[in-house]
Amino acid sequence: MEYSLSISEAAELDMRDAFLWYENQKDNLGLTFEQHISKTIQNIQKNPLKIQVRYNQTRVAFLKKFPYGVHFNVLENEIIIVAIFHTSQSPKKWEKR
């Protein structure tokens, strides 16, 4: 089954903020972060249902090198990325999304 993918505006902002933070830490580290996000999203799109449900209907795919999780929901044949959060952040913060 093919899934369409959409990324919420809030998740786009999460990604941008993390990118900028990593770029300020070390040159090109933000680009490396973006590559890991892209790979994780590709893996989600291949088979989103293999990723464990963590909160209600929200699934979380964790990046391998960076302490971030891509939070998403699957509605029929659509994947909606609702947040990209550092693992130290409280789930209460993104549950409002």
Q: What is the CATH number of domain 4-95?
A: 3.30.2310.20
pTM summary value: 0.89
Residue 31: pLDDT over 70: yes
* Domain layout of the chain by residue ranges: 4-95
pLDDT of residue 1: 80
H or E stretch covering 83: strand 78-86
